[in-house]
Amino acid sequence: MYAKCGSLSEARLAFNNMNRRNVVAWTLMINEYAKKGPYLEALLLHQQMMQEGTCPNNVTYLCILRACSGHGVLHQGKLIHVHVMLNSESDTVLTNAIIEMYAKCGNVEEAHHEFDLLQEHTVVSWNSLIGGYIKHSDHVTASLLFVSMEIQGMVPDPITHLHILKACATSKDIIYGRLLHYNIMRLGYDATPHVGNALVDMYCKCESLADARCAFQYMAKPPLEAWNALIGGYALVGQAEEAFELFNKMKASKLEPGKVTYLSVLKACAALAAAEQGRAIHDLVQQKGLESDLFVASSLVDMHAKCGNLREAQTLFDKISIRSVVTWNTLIAGYALHGQAEEALRVVCQMESENICLNHVSFVGLLSACCHAGCLAEGCYFFSIMIEIYCLLALMDHYCNIIDMFGRAGLLEEAVFVIKGMPFEPNTVVWKALLGACRVCSDLSLAKHATRSLNQQDRGMFVLLSNIYAAGDIWAEDVEA
């Protein structure tokens, strides 16, 4: 009674005062710890139960296995498995719990072995194994199991589809996702809130916002998770105005925005550099008492920095008690965006003084600041120490900034030298940076070479090239030649 009313301590006191405890009493107490924690108490109670001569039954083992699954304790799970084999006649339900325990604890090979030993597979068996492979990012095996399940005549339930939709979302497999959606509609699961949320999330992560919107609108009353997924999807692909529109509709529907909602809307504000809307969202965040949350605070710093309100960004940054490297990098990037190399360097120095290790992103921000401020010598110095002192490999973004710096300084030969020395093929950003330099130096020959390496459908490339030819007083027909 106490346990069901939520008072675990009173339930334990009543349990301890019992003169004779039967298997039902032990199992009820173990189950409460398995559900609410600490899970170690569930395991200790099992040991005490055995020492006092009470034999666990299959329900007891189910409760203990649930504790092991929920907390990922493989070693204890294996011990319980041994107890089951020695002291109990295993059944399908108990074997399913063992499969789930191994799958959730990361030993999918053993989970698959136990699955293969089962004479009769239930939907729960398949879901436990598929879920284990999904959790450990083996989406191919999970998808193959899903197909095998259908071939063997087993009808997948909503949980099965949730697992596979997650795989599609992670791998961004829109084609398979649409096939799944059709199957879900055929089975009538699309009206299920959890499946509806997963469909919206899958389409958003596959960057198919039209499909996501359709799945969202099909839901009779979209829950908060669906709103968050769609708003976040629009923010992810840079459709900030649509994110704002949806956020306003959400408020009009009397649904209360949560932390995840505000994170997505702040990202949209940052993308649009919408200072006024960002300020309004900031006020709402303050009213909700979310300003002290690390993720929200970092997003506020990012939004204000990208909107050009660097003083506010710095003030918010200074208020954060525990700053992650992401928060530091956000402020560095903000100063970099506005060409304030000295301020970016100041933040880096402060970062080092507080023993926060600079990473690849930190140096991208620092090099970008030097690039925007025209600080070529400083940029080359930081690029050098990144490799030699910090032992970080230069990535494409680092090379792009160095090439852009040389280009802005009119040092085309040096820029080309860096491109030739890159350990990977240049991307579009590199060639565009070189094209921009060609415009400064009116180097038509090099511009043609860079253009041939670019995507011919890129409109930005044609604008740059037209400007170069215009500067050289060459007509459009010559451009086509």
pLDDT tens column, 361-416 = 999 999 999 998 889 999 999 999 999 999 999 999 999 999 989 988 888 889 88
Task: Please indicate whether residue 126 or residue 12 has the higher confidence score (pLDDT).
Answer: 126
Distance CA 93, CA 111 (A): 14
Does residue 133 fall inside a structural domain?
no
Whether the Cβ atoms of residue 198 and residue 214 lie closer than 8 Å to each other: no
Does residue 82 fall inside a structural domain?
no
Residue that the structure tokens 């490999």 belong to: 393
| Structural domain boundaries enclosing 476 | 421-481
Percent of the chain with pLDDT over 70: 90
Does residue 455 fall inside a structural domain?
yes
Cα 410–Cα 365–Cα 452 angle in degrees, nearest 5: 45
Query: pLDDT by residue (tens digit) across 63-78?
Result: 888 888 877 788 888 8
Average pLDDT, the chain: 86
Does residue 137 fall inside a structural domain?
no
Whether the Cβ atoms of residue 157 and residue 182 lie closer than 8 Å to each other: no
Whether the Cβ atoms of residue 279 and residue 313 lie closer than 8 Å to each other: no
Domain end position, chosen among 258, 292, 313: 313
Distance CA 408, CA 42 (A): 66
Please classify residue 435 by burial: count the beta carbons closer than 10 Å to its beta carbon, then call 0-12 exposed, 13-18 middle and 19+ buried. buried
Res 480: pLDDT: 47
Res 230: pLDDT: 94
Res 459: pLDDT: 57
The shares of helix, strand and coil residues in the chain, as percent rounded to the nearest 5, are 75, 0, 25
Q: Is the pLDDT of residue 242 over 80?
A: yes
Quickly state the pLDDT bin for 475 (edges 50, 70, 90): very low
Q: Please state the rounded mean pLDDT for residues 225-235.
A: 92
Q: Which amino acid is at 285?
A: V
Res 45: pLDDT: 85
pTM above threshold 0.85 = no
Res 1: pLDDT: 44
Q: Is the pLDDT of residue 443 over 50?
A: yes
Q: Is the pLDDT of residue 190 over 80?
A: yes
Instruction: Report residue 105: phi and psi, to 5°.
Output: -90, 0
Res 51: pLDDT: 83
Q: Please state the rounded mean pLDDT for residues 167-179.
A: 92
Q: Is the pLDDT of residue 444 over 70?
A: no
Q: Is 137 helix (H, G, I), strand (E, B) or coil?
A: coil
Q: Please state the rounded mean pLDDT for residues 43-68.
A: 84
Distance CA 396, CA 431 (A): 12
DSSP annotation of 255 reads P
Helix (H) or strand (E) holding 263: helix 259-272
Query: pLDDT by residue (tens digit) across 132-156?
Result: 999 888 989 999 999 999 999 899 9
Query: pLDDT by residue (tens digit) across 71-107?
Result: 778 888 888 888 888 877 768 888 999 999 999 888 9
Q: Please state the rounded mean pLDDT for residues 408-432.
A: 87
Does residue 13 fall inside a structural domain?
no
Res 397: pLDDT: 93
The domain total for the chain is: 2
Distance CA 401, CA 407 (A): 10
Alpha helices in 391-480 (DSSP H): 396-408, 412-421, 428-441, 444-452, 459-471, 476-480
Res 473: pLDDT: 52
Whether the Cβ atoms of residue 479 and residue 456 lie closer than 8 Å to each other: no
**What region does 416 belong to: left with phi over 0, alpha with psi -120 to 50, or beta?**
alpha
Domain end position, chosen among 291, 313, 335: 313
Q: Please state the rounded mean pLDDT for residues 15-39.
A: 81
Query: pLDDT by residue (tens digit) across 292-341?
Result: 899 999 999 999 999 999 999 999 999 998 899 999 999 999 999 998 98
Among 104, 93, 96, residue whose Cα is nearest residue 67:
104
Among 256, 255, 260, 254, residue whose Cα is nearest residue 230:
260
Alpha helices in 152-253 (DSSP H): 158-171, 174-187, 193-205, 209-218, 224-236, 240-252
For the chain, helix (H) and strand (E) counts, in that order, are: 29, 0
Res 481: pLDDT: 44
Does residue 264 fall inside a structural domain?
yes
Residue that the structure tokens 């970016």 belong to: 344
Candidate from 2-11, 187-196, 429-438 with smallest mean pLDDT: 2-11
Res 471: pLDDT: 55
Q: Encoding tokens for residue 442?
A: 């009116």
Q: Is the pLDDT of residue 229 over 90?
A: yes
Q: Is the pLDDT of residue 238 over 90?
A: no
Quickly state the pLDDT bin for 468 (edges 50, 70, 90): low
Q: Is 452 helix (H, G, I), strand (E, B) or coil?
A: helix
* Exposure class string for 261-283: b at 16+ Cβ within 10 A, else e: bbbbbbbbbbbbbbbebbeebbe
Distance CA 300, CA 44 (A): 46
Q: Please state the rounded mean pLDDT for residues 343-364.
A: 93
Does residue 292 fall inside a structural domain?
yes
Does residue 319 fall inside a structural domain?
no
Domain end position, chosen among 265, 283, 313: 313
Res 2: pLDDT: 43
